[in-house]
Amino acid sequence: MNYFELFDLDPVFTVDTANLAERYRELQKAVHPDKFASQSEQQKLLSVQRTAQVNDGYQTLKNPLRRAEHMLSLRGIDLSHETTTVKDTTFLMQQMEWREMLDDISHSNAPQDKIDELYDSFASYEKSLFNLLAELLASEQEQDDKSAAEQVRKLKFMAKLQDELTRIEDDLLD
């Protein structure tokens, strides 16, 4: 399913989220199961399926990482079940440094300072990855799609690091 078509949006990475939300509300009104309460069972089931598609599409398009994955999937690159690892040695070295910093938090005299430092470092790096990803997805060249897929892999790793940092912070607050 092409969610850009479903929402009548151009298939671009930079989505107008206000327009997306408006289209979501319009589509929800059109396919909501309550609207089909007096219809046949088949019509009710179809309404539930369409509602699920609209919800899935909205969740996909409003999240930049999921949107990028969807765009790549539409271009024939499916990252949802792949096990390809990141090959960028600079990124891998940065990853190791972040892992060490995460491990050091619990031994620090000022753990919140370390946590804040990591959040800032993650945000800065993530911003640069998203900027590059936007450029790559705008080009629609096959080689750029492959590079975009690599950026998505990095961003997925960043999301895992963010989750881990959040868990560490939550544990410290308990």
Residue 83's pLDDT is: 72
Is residue 69 in some structural domain? no
The helix/strand/coil state of 103 is helix
Is there a single domain that holds both residue 169 and residue 95?
Answer: yes
Q: How far is CA 93 from CA 23, 72, 76, 83, 104, in A?
A: 42, 27, 30, 20, 17
Residue 172's pLDDT is: 86
Residue 92's pLDDT is: 93
Is residue 82 in some structural domain? no
Residue 138 and residue 12 in contact, taking contact as beta carbons nearer than 8 Å: yes
Residue 164 and residue 88 in contact, taking contact as beta carbons nearer than 8 Å: no
Is residue 81 pLDDT above 90, yes or no? no
The domain of 13 spans 3-62
Is residue 43 pLDDT above 90, yes or no? no
Is residue 72 in some structural domain? no
Is residue 160 pLDDT above 90, yes or no? yes
Is there a single domain that holds both residue 96 and residue 25?
Answer: no
Residue 44's pLDDT is: 75
Q: How confident is the model at residue 97 (pLDDT cuts 50, 70, 90)?
A: very high
- Counting the structural domains of the chain, the total is 2
Is residue 27 pLDDT above 90, yes or no? yes
35 against 16, higher pLDDT = 16
Return all residues near 88 (Cβ < 8 A) that are at least 6 apart: 150, 154
Query: Of 62, 97, 112, which residue is a domain's last?
Result: 62
Residue 131's pLDDT is: 97
Residue 170's pLDDT is: 93
Identity of the amino acid at 81: H
Structure tokens at 159: 């999301």
The helix/strand/coil state of 53 is helix
**Which domain CATH number covers 133?**
1.20.1280
Is there a single domain that holds both residue 40 and residue 112?
Answer: no
% of the chain beyond a pLDDT of 90: 77
Residue 69 and residue 80 in contact, taking contact as beta carbons nearer than 8 Å: yes
Residue 85's pLDDT is: 78
Q: What is the pLDDT of residues 46-75, one digit of tens each?
A: 888 999 999 999 999 999 999 999 999 999
Is there a single domain that holds both residue 107 and residue 33?
Answer: no
Is there a single domain that holds both residue 93 and residue 47?
Answer: no
Is residue 115 in some structural domain? yes
Q: Got the DSSP string for 111-167? A: HHHHHHHHHHHHHHHHHHHHHHHHHHHHH--HHHHHHHHHHHHHHHHHHHHHHHHHH
Return all residues near 57 (Cβ < 8 A) that are at least 6 apart: 1, 3, 6, 7
Is residue 75 in some structural domain? no
